[in-house]
Chain A
Amino acid sequence: EAQVTQNPRYLITVTGKKLTVTCSQNMNHEYMSWYRQDPGLGLRQIYYSMNVEVTDKGDVPEGYKVSRKEKRNFPLILESPSPNQTSLYFCATGQLAGGTTDTQYFGPGTRLTVL
């Protein structure tokens, strides 16, 4: 079954304690991306990756890091989380076609609370 998995699904942490949210896909997609969803603000793109070892900033990259060492995984790292990073996070994947990306497939989301 084609899947995008995120772990953990729920996380409560404290300010400054480093954390990683994992994203894994089994669809062999080149493209992966992270978004955060906040009420009234829709989805905002944090980082994206067009392929292994290729990452780029989205609209709200501050306070986040990513890496793409292998095709199936795209972890999101918060080195020093702050309360304003409390949000619902989604990972998405997609195929590349003609040099651009097409439909995105979303994971189930990770609800992060930073106290």
Chain B
Amino acid sequence: AQSVAQPEDQVNVAEGNPLTVKCTYSVSGNPYLFWYVQYPNRGLQFLLKYITGDNLVKGSYGFEAEFNKSQTSFHLKKPSALVSDSALYFCAVRDGANAGKSTFGDGTTLTVKP
């Protein structure tokens, strides 16, 4: 069975500071990893993904994530947070051997204060 853990329900940072939202995963095959963002009263939007290749993945709005196979982690990062980054962030995993099944974390609420 595959699983995703987002250990922090809430992350608070000051505007201009770097931010990290943590994600660890468990799959039996090759992991396909994704980050999505949900703004209030909206659907989820894709941020970035890791399928294969370079462990550092760059995505939308200046976000990036690093795939760490040994630590089974895929933390989301941004060098300088904006107030507009405040939202709910979801990490998701798919097992390469089970194409259709997706597992999402419980979500982390990011609050960026001016």
B45 interfacial contact with A, CB 8 Å: yes
B-side interface residues, number (CB < 8 Å): 25
Contact B101 A58 (CB under 8 A): yes
Interface size on A, residues (CB 8 A): 30
Q: Which residues of chain A in 19-46 are interfacial with respect to chain B, using CB atoms and an 8 Å cutoff?
A: 31, 33, 35, 40-45
The listed residue with most A CB atoms (<10 A of its CB), out of B32, B102, B106, is: B102
Contact yes or no, A101 B44, CB < 8 A:
no
Residue of A at shortest CB range from B96?
A100
A-B interface contact total, Cβ < 8 Å? 69
Residue of B whose beta carbon sits closest to that of A55: B100
Contact B46 A43 (CB under 8 A): no
Question: Measuring CB to CB, which residues of chain A are less than 8 angstroms from any residue of chain B?
Answer: 4, 31, 33, 35, 40-45, 48-50, 56, 58-59, 90, 92, 96, 99-109
